[in-house]
Amino acid sequence: MNKNELVSAVAEATSLSKGDAQGAVEAVFDVITKELKSGGDVRLVGFGNFSVSKREASVGRNPQTGAEVQIPARNVPKFSAGKGLKDAVN
């Protein structure tokens, strides 16, 4: 399912217009992104948790030349599924 299909599914499930559903989906994504950007986390009980994890700097290799490449430290988004989502999938 891509973003347009998600918007269509939300519109059908909530009886909203596709424009309103797209606004709602975009708003949810924006709020989650802003919270993670500020260092917080988003916990949706029964669905899962969005958080930020720190990845340390490391040394990698260029596969074509074999030369060592420094990979800088960075923050990466992380999602862990909640019990409700895990149970629904299984």
pTM: 0.80
Write the CATH number for 51.
4.10.520.10
Q: How far is CA 86 from CA 10, 48, 51, 53, 81, in A?
A: 21, 9, 18, 22, 6
Domain of 28, in residue numbers: 1-38
Q: What is the pLDDT of residue 68?
A: 95
Which residues of the chain are modeled with pLDDT < 50? none
Number of domains in the chain: 2
**Domain check: are 23 and 49 in the same one?**
no
**Domain check: are 66 and 87 in the same one?**
yes
Query: What mean pLDDT, rounded, does the chain reach?
Result: 95
Contact 39, 8 (CB under 8 A): no
Contact 18, 11 (CB under 8 A): yes
Q: What is the pLDDT of residue 74?
A: 95
DSSP annotation of 57: P
**Domain check: are 33 and 50 in the same one?**
no
- CA distance between the termini of the chain: 19
Q: What is the pLDDT of residue 50?
A: 97
